[in-house]
Amino acid sequence: MEEKNKSIGKAVNRIDGILKITGKATYATDYPIKNMAFAVIFKSTIASGTIVNLDTTSAEQANGVLAVITHKNAPRLNEKGGIRGGALLQSPEILFYGQHIGVVVAETFEQARHAAHLIKVDYQKKEGKTDFEKLATSAGAPRGKELADLIRGDALGMLDTSAVKLEEVYETPIEHHHPMEPHSTIAVWEGDKVVLYNGSQIINGAQAAAAETLNLKPEQVRIVSPFIGGGFGSKGGQWANLILTAVAAKVVSRPVKLALTRQQMFNSVGLRQQNIQRISLGASKDGKLISLVHETTTQTAIDSEFLEPCGDCSKVMYEVPNALISYKVAPMHMMLPTYTRGPGKSTGSFALESAMDELAYKLQMDPIELRIKNEPQKDPSNGKPWSSRKTVECLREGAKAFGWANRKVVPGSNRVGDDLIGYGVACGTYPARQRDSSAVIKLTKSGENVFAIVEIAASDLGTGTNTILAQTAADGLGIPLVHVTVKLGDSDLPPAAGSVGSVGAASFANAVNDACTKITDELLARSAKQFFIRPTAYQLIVSENIKNYQTRVDAKAPKEAEQYSAHSFNANFAEVRVNALTGMVKVTRFLAVTGAGKILNPKTARSQIIGGNVWGIGMALSEESVMDPRWGNFATRSFGDYHVPANLDVGKLDAIFINEEDKIPNKMGVKGIGEVGIVGVAAAIANAIFNATGKRIRKLPITPDKLI
Amino acid sequence: MRPFKYTGANSPSDALKLLIKNPNARFLAGGTNLIDLMKEDVERPDELIDLTRLDSTSFSKISFGVNTAGVSLGATGKNTDAAHHPEIRQNFPILTKAILAGASAQIRNMATNGGNLLQRTRCSYFYDTAMACNKRSPGSGCAAMEGINRMHAIFGWSENCVAVYPSDMAVALSALDARIKVMQADGNVRSIPIHDFHRLPGDHPEKDNNLNRTELITSIEIPTNKFAAHSAYVKVRDRNSYAFALVSVAAGLVLEGNKILSAHIAMGGVAHKPWRALKAEALLKGKIASTANFTAAAQAEMTEAKPLSHNKFKVALGRNTIVSALEIALRGAESPI
Ligand SMILES: Cc1cc2nc3c(=O)[nH]c(=O)nc-3n(C[C@H](O)[C@H](O)[C@H](O)COP(=O)(O)OP(=O)(O)OC[C@H]3O[C@@H](n4cnc5c(N)ncnc54)[C@H](O)[C@@H]3O)c2cc1C
Ligand code: SF4
C-alpha cells in the first residue's frame, strides 16, 4: 500500500465520533429494553460491625416496589468469584462505611429511590479502623509477593556517607476515578443465561467474574459493552453492583437497570489509596546518584489487599547503584483500593520527581541536567537492556519547545503584579506490554469493493480503540478506512485482553494486524497466480473473485520481548502562576513530550496524553477525597467538593511525540499511552510552584491554604 | 426523594395562600438547591409551589428607580440575567462579578435571585443524613465541630453550628447595603436590610435567616453607590471555577484623590451570613489608600476570628483576600468579567 493511502499514523477522526455527539452511542443504560424495572442500592452508615435488624416493611409496601433484597434473602453467591470489594449481601457483617446492604427494585427509579429511604437498619457497632494517620504508624509488610522489598547494594549505608543527602516525606490523598459514566448495568435473563450491559474495561474478565460469582458457566454470561464512558481503572475489575443487578433481575424475573449515583461512587467501585512516601537520596557533589530509598506506607481494605506500586518509577528511572524500595500497609475499614490511572507511577513519580527537583536545587544544578546525568543505560532493576528509551530526547526537545531557558533559577524571582511565575519539569514512565488477544476478520466482496468486519472482545473506554483498530485493518487489508467495521465490547466475540495497564492498543492492534497478515497469507496460498510484490488481501479477494472469506488469529506477545525492558517515557513541563496573596494556582502552560513507540493516530493519542495531563493537574491542585477519621465516611460527597479540574484550571496544553521505532515489545511497535500521560504531571506542577514561590509543597493537593 | 405534589402559583398572593394551606409545602424557584436537597432526603416537602410561572410579572424583572434610586431585582429573575444586565455591569459591577464567581453558567441560568439568597449551607454533614447535624435535625449535635471543618466558619459560630452560608451574590449585596423586600401572608410588604436577613447560628442553627415561613421574597432592592469604579470581588477557592469560596471578599472604595471617604467590605466563606467587615471599614475611613493601611485594616478585622481545627488558614487568607480586593478596587476600572 502506498504510504499516502495509509491510515495508521494519520490523525484520523474517531469513527464513532458522530454517534457520540448525536447521543446515539449506546452506553450501558442506553438500551430501551421492554418491561424494565429499576434498582437502587442502599448502603451502610457504619464502617465496622453487624446489622442486627433490618426493617424493610414500609419499603416493601411502598408504591411500585417489586422486591427488597438484603443479606436476609439474597441468593447465595460465590464471594471468591473475582468480584472486587465484596458487598455482595452475603452476610450481616459490615467492613466499610457505605458498604451495599441492600437493593430495592421497583417499577420506576423514583419509586425505588424513595423506598430505599424507608429502610431502617440497626447495627451493633464495633470499633472501626478508620484513622489512617494513626494506623500508618503500625503498618506492616504487604502480603502480596510482587511488592517484596527491592534491595540493591547498601542503600542505607551509602546514604549516610553520601556528600549530598536529602530525606523528605511526600503525601498523596485518596482520589476517585469518577468517570463521567457512573457504574451502571442492565441485566436481562434469557432462561439460565444472563446478558449484562455493563461498562467493562476487560470484557472477558467481567464475564469470568460474573459467571463465577453467580455460580454460572462463562458461556451463560454475556457482557455487552461497546461504549464506555470512562473508567480509569475503576471498570477494570468488576464490583458488586454488576452482580446485584443480575440478582435483582433474577428475583423480579424482569430486566433490571441499576446505576450508581455520584455519591455512591465514592464507596462502591474502588479508589486510589492514600500514600505516605519517604524518599531519601544520596548523591555526589557533582550530582551522581549513590543511593535511593523509597518507602511507601499505605492503606488497604480490612479483608483484602491492594497496593499501588509507588516504588515502580524509582526502580527504573535513574542509574543508582544502591537502592531500597519497600512498602508497608495498614488494613482499614475502607473500600478496597484499586488500579487508578498510572497506578503507583503517578503517585510514586510525584515523590521521586519532587525529590529530584529538591536535590537539583541543593546541588545548584539544572533539574534537567541532573536527570540526564543519571540516565541509566539499562534497566537498573533487572539489568535488561531497554527496548528503547528516549528520556534524554524528551527532556532536550521539551526544553527547547517549552522555552526552559526562560526559567528564572532563583525561586520567587519572577513576579508580574501579584502573580508569581514558575517553571517545573518532571519525568515519567510506564511499562509497555502486549497481552494475548484473538481476532477474527471477515471479508465480503461487493462489486469492486471489499468490506471488512473486525471482531475482537476488546473494549473502548472512549479512548479511540475502535478507530485505531479500523485503521490497522484498513492498512493491513489494503482497503479504505470507511470499508472497515469494528465490532468490540461483547464477550461473544473472540477473547481479548483489556483496556488496562496501557496494554490495550498493543494487544488489540497486534491481534488485528496479525489477522490481516494471516488472511493475506491464506488467500495467497489459495491463489494459483504468481506475484512479484506481495499483494494485499483486497487485491487477492478481487483477483480471485472471492465473495466471502474469514480467518481467526490468536495473537501473543513476541517471546524476545522478555529479554528486554520496555517502557514508555516522558518529560513534563509546567508553567504556573501563583497569586502571592491568595495562593491560587493556575497552570498556564503544560507540555508533555512522550516516547511511546509507534503512534497509531496522533489525534487520539494527543487526547490521551492531554487527558492524562488534565487529571494530573487535578491531582496536583485540587482532587482529594477526605475521609472522616472518626467514622470512615467521606466528607467529600459530590463533584461540588471533589474538585476535578474545570476549564479555567487548565491552560494551554501541548503534546509532542518523539519519533521512536521499536519493534521489540510487539510487531507494530506500539508501547501504550493510556497511563503515561498522568505520570510525572503532579511533580512538574509542584516543582513549578516551588520555582514560582520558593515554597516546597510535599502534600497533595496544593490548595491555596498551603501556599499562603 | 419522597413523593411530592407539584402546584403552580399564578400570583405572589396565590403562592402565599397555597403555602399557608399546607405546612409541608415549599416554594420552588430554580430548584438548583431545593431539588438537590430533596434527592439527598435532607428536605422533605410533600408539595412544591412553583414560583417561576410568575415570570411575566415584575416579580421576575429587573427595574430601576422603583423605590430607591438604585435597582430592584425581581425574586424569580435569573442570576444570569442579573449578572449580565448592562446597567448592573456598569453601576453594580461587584454584583456581576460575585454572581459570575458562583456555580456554573448552567446553574446560574436556572438559579433565581430569591433562591440564591435562601440557598442552604454546603456543610457536608448537613447533606449526609447519617450524620449528626443541628441544622438538619435540631438537638442531634454538630458533626462538623470536631470533624472535617476546613470549609467552615471562623466568625460568629456557636457550639451548635459552625457552618458557613455559601452565596457569593449575597456577599456583594452586603457590601452594597441591599434590602430584601418580602410579602407577608396578609399581603403586607416589609423590607429587611441584608445585614439583618441572614442570622448567626446561635441556639437555632435550623434557622438560616429571619424570613418567616409564610413570607415570600418579591425583590432585592439595591441603592445606588459611589464605588462602582473602585470595586472588586475576589473569591479564593480550591479550583478556579465551580467551587465554593474558602474566603471571598467584596470591596468598594469611595475615594477622593488618594483619600478613602468610605470603604465597603463584606466577606464570604467565613460565617453563617455575609460578614460585613465593619472594623476594617472604620479603620480605613479617612485614611490614605495604601497597601500598608489596607493590611492594617484587614489584620484588625481578623483579630476576632476563632478558627476551628481544620481552618486556621482562613485567618491569614481572610487578611490577604481583603488586601487583594482593596488593591484591585484601588486600581479600578477592571472589566466585570
Ligand atoms: C454544584 C453547585 C455549585 C454551586 N456553586 C455556587 C457558588 O459557588 N456560589 C454560589 O453563590 N452559589 C452556588 N450554587 C448555588 C446556587 O447559586 C443556588 O442553588 C441557587 O442560587 C438557588 O436558586 P434557585 O432559584 O435554584 O433556588 P431553589 O432551589 O428553587 O430554592 C432555594 C430555596 O429558596 C426558597 N425560595 C426560592 N424563591 C423564593 C422566594 N421568592 N421567596 C421565598 N422563598 C423562596 C425555596 O423554597 C428553597 O427553599 C451552586 C449550586 C450547585 C448545585
Ligand atoms: S456545622 Fe451546622 S450544618 Fe454542619 S453539621 Fe454542624 S450543625 Fe450541621
Under DSSP, the state recorded for B268 is E
**What spacing in Å lies between the alpha carbon of A622 and ligand 2's midpoint?**
24
Residues B294-314: pLDDT tens digits?
A: 999 999 999 999 999 999 999
CATH of the domain at A610: 3.30.365.10
Among A267, A287, A316, give the residue marking a domain's end.
A267
Q: Do B239 and A628 touch (CB under 8 A)?
A: no
| Cβ B92 vs Cβ B229: under 8 Å | no
**pLDDT for B155:** 98
What string of DSSP letters covers B115-152?
Answer: HHHTPPP--HHHH-TTS-BTTTSTTS-BTTTTS--TTS
State whether A596 and A610 are in the same domain.
Answer: yes
Among A508, A529, A556, give the residue marking a domain's end.
A556
Query: Which residue CA neighbors atom 37 of ligand 1 most closely?
Result: B115
Sign for the pseudo-dihedral over CA of B20, B21, B22, B26: negative
State whether A368 and A464 are in the same domain.
Answer: no
State whether A196 and A48 are in the same domain.
Answer: yes
Q: Do B324 and A418 touch (CB under 8 A)?
A: yes
Pocket-forming residues, ligand 1, beta carbon under 6 Å: A 640; B 26-34, 36, 51, 75, 79, 102-103, 107, 110-112, 114-116, 118-119, 166-169, 216-217, 244
Per DSSP bridges, beta strands A256-259 and A221-224 are unpaired
Q: Which helix (H) or strand (E) holds A434?
A: none
Is the pLDDT assigned to residue A305 strictly greater than 50?
yes
In 3D, which of B144, B210, B146 has the Cα closest to residue B180? B210
| Cβ A545 vs Cβ A445: under 8 Å | yes
Tell me the average pLDDT of chain A. 97
- Give the separation between CA A513 and CA A519, rounded to whole angstroms: 10
Q: Which residues of A touch B243 (CB under 8 A)?
A: 622, 640, 643, 646
Output the CA angle A352-A358-A362, nearest 5 degrees.
Answer: 140
* Cis ω before A701 (30° cut-off from 0): yes
ipTM over 0.90: yes
State whether A541 and A569 are in the same domain.
Answer: no
**pLDDT for B56:** 60
* 3 state DSSP class of A600: coil
State whether A260 and A388 are in the same domain.
Answer: no
Structural domain includes residue A478: yes
Look at chain A and report how many structural domains it folds into.
Answer: 3
**pLDDT for B57:** 67
Structural domain includes residue A248: yes
Band of residue B333 on the pLDDT scale cut at 50, 70, 90: low
Residues B122-152: pLDDT tens digits?
A: 999 999 999 999 999 999 999 999 999 999 9
Q: Do A117 and B2 touch (CB under 8 A)?
A: yes
Output the CA angle A20-A21-A26, nearest 5 degrees.
Answer: 30
In 3D, which of B109, B134, B110 has the Cα closest to residue B123? B134
- Give the separation between CA A665 and CA A392, rounded to whole angstroms: 20
**pLDDT for B227:** 97
Q: Which helix (H) or strand (E) holds B30?
A: none
Structural domain includes residue A622: yes
**pLDDT for B334:** 60
**pLDDT for A4:** 78
Which among A45, A643, A705 has the least Cβ separation from residue B239? A643
The mean-pLDDT minimum among A367-371, A439-443, A501-505 falls in A501-505
Domains observed in chain B: 1-51 (3.30.43.10), 231-331 (3.30.390.50)
State whether A594 and A466 are in the same domain.
Answer: no
Q: Which residues of B touch A708 (CB under 8 A)?
A: 313, 316-317, 320
**Residue A560 burial by Cβ neighbours in a 10 Å radius (0-12, 13-18, 19+):** exposed
**What spacing in Å lies between the alpha carbon of B13 and ligand 2's midpoint?**
34
Q: What is the grid cell recorded at A616?
A: 494530573
**pLDDT for A378:** 97
* 3 state DSSP class of A614: helix
In 3D, which of A322, A333, A289 has the Cα closest to residue A85? A333
Q: Do A418 and B128 touch (CB under 8 A)?
A: no
Query: Which residue CA neighbors atom 34 of ligand 1 most closely?
Result: B115
* Number of inter-chain CB pairs under 8 A, A vs B: 97
**Residue A388 burial by Cβ neighbours in a 10 Å radius (0-12, 13-18, 19+):** buried
In chain A, which residue's Cα lies nearest the Cα of B327? A418
Ligand closest to B169 (CA) is 1
Pocket-forming residues, ligand 2, beta carbon under 6 Å: B 121, 123, 125-126, 133-135, 142-144, 161-163, 205
In chain A, which residue's Cα lies nearest the Cα of B127? A637
Q: Do B324 and A645 touch (CB under 8 A)?
A: no
| Cβ A235 vs Cβ A265: under 8 Å | no
| Cβ B275 vs Cβ B170: under 8 Å | no
Task: Identify from A118, A131, A628, A697 which residue to disrupt to test chain B contact, counting B C-beta atoms within 10 A and taking the largest count.
Answer: A628
Mean pLDDT on A568-591: 98
Q: Which residues of B touch A646 (CB under 8 A)?
A: 239-243
The separation between CA A665 and the C-alpha centre of its own chain, rounded to angstroms, equals 20
Among A495, A529, A556, give the residue marking a domain's end.
A556
**pLDDT for B215:** 97
State whether A118 and A261 are in the same domain.
Answer: yes
Structural domain includes residue A262: yes
Structural domain includes residue A168: no
Which among B1, B40, B246 has the least Cβ separation from residue A110? B1
Residues B205-264: pLDDT tens digits?
A: 999 999 999 999 999 999 999 999 999 999 999 999 999 999 999 999 999 999 999 999
* Placement of cell 442579573 in the chain: B82
In chain B, which residue's Cα lies nearest the Cα of A263? B40
Under DSSP, the state recorded for A645 is P
Mean pLDDT on A121-134: 98
Structural domain includes residue A25: no
Q: Do B239 and A701 touch (CB under 8 A)?
A: no
* Largest distance between two CA atoms of chain B: 61
State whether A425 and A444 are in the same domain.
Answer: no
Tell me the average pLDDT of chain B. 95
- Give the separation between CA A347 and CA A621, rounded to whole angstroms: 13
| Cβ A508 vs Cβ A456: under 8 Å | yes
Q: What is the grid cell recorded at A2?
A: 502506498
Band of residue B335 on the pLDDT scale cut at 50, 70, 90: low
Q: Which residues of B touch A63 (CB under 8 A)?
A: 3
**pLDDT for B337:** 47
Output the CA angle A440-A443-A444, nearest 5 degrees.
Answer: 145
Beta strands in B171-290 (DSSP E): 179-183, 189-193, 216-222, 231-237, 245-256, 259-268, 275-276
Is the pLDDT assigned to residue B66 strictly greater than 70?
no
Residue from B43, B127, B148, B161 whose mutation best tests the ligand 2 pocket (most atoms within 8 A of CB): B161
State whether A94 and A223 are in the same domain.
Answer: yes
Contact with chain B for residue A699, Cβ under 8 A: no
| Cβ A91 vs Cβ A71: under 8 Å | yes
Q: What is the grid cell recorded at B228?
A: 462602582
Residues A613-643: pLDDT tens digits?
A: 999 999 999 999 999 999 999 999 999 999 9
Q: Which domain holds residue A393?
A: 341-432+564-706
* Cα–Cα distances in angstroms (integers) from residue A27 to residues A247, A306, B27, B233, in the given order: 21, 29, 36, 42
Q: Give the distance from residue A521's alpha carbon to the nearest chain B alpha carbon, in angstroms.
A: 57
Residues A244-298: pLDDT tens digits?
A: 999 999 999 999 999 999 999 999 999 999 999 999 999 999 999 999 999 999 9
**pLDDT for A245:** 98
Contact with chain B for residue A701, Cβ under 8 A: yes
Structural domain includes residue A298: no
**What spacing in Å lies between the alpha carbon of B111 and ligand 1's midpoint?**
6
State whether A364 and A387 are in the same domain.
Answer: yes
Mean pLDDT on A16-42: 97
Q: Do A635 and B147 touch (CB under 8 A)?
A: yes
Residues A312-323: pLDDT tens digits?
A: 999 999 999 999
| Cβ A338 vs Cβ A84: under 8 Å | yes
**Residue A396 burial by Cβ neighbours in a 10 Å radius (0-12, 13-18, 19+):** middle
In 3D, which of A119, A110, A111 has the Cα closest to residue A64? A111
Q: Report, as residue numbers or ranges, the catalytic residues of A.
A: 675
Mean pLDDT on B197-205: 98
| The A93-94 sheet, strands edge to edge | A93-94, A49-55, A120-125
User: Is this model's pTM higher than 0.95 or not?
Assistant: yes
**pLDDT for B283:** 98
Is the pLDDT assigned to residue B153 strictly greater than 80?
yes
Structural domain includes residue A503: yes
- Give the ranges where A302-376 is alpha helix by DSSP (H): 312-316, 345-363, 367-373
**What spacing in Å lies between the alpha carbon of A41 and ligand 2's midpoint?**
27
For B275, phi then psi, to 5°, come to -100, 110
Query: Which residue CA neighbors atom 35 of ligand 1 most closely?
Result: B115
In 3D, which of A652, A651, A640, A655 has the Cα closest to residue A608? A655
State whether A537 and A409 are in the same domain.
Answer: no
Q: Do B246 and A705 touch (CB under 8 A)?
A: yes
The separation between CA A643 and the C-alpha centre of its own chain, rounded to angstroms, equals 19
Is the pLDDT assigned to residue B198 strictly greater than 50?
yes
Is the pLDDT assigned to residue B182 strictly greater than 90?
yes
State whether A507 and A532 are in the same domain.
Answer: yes
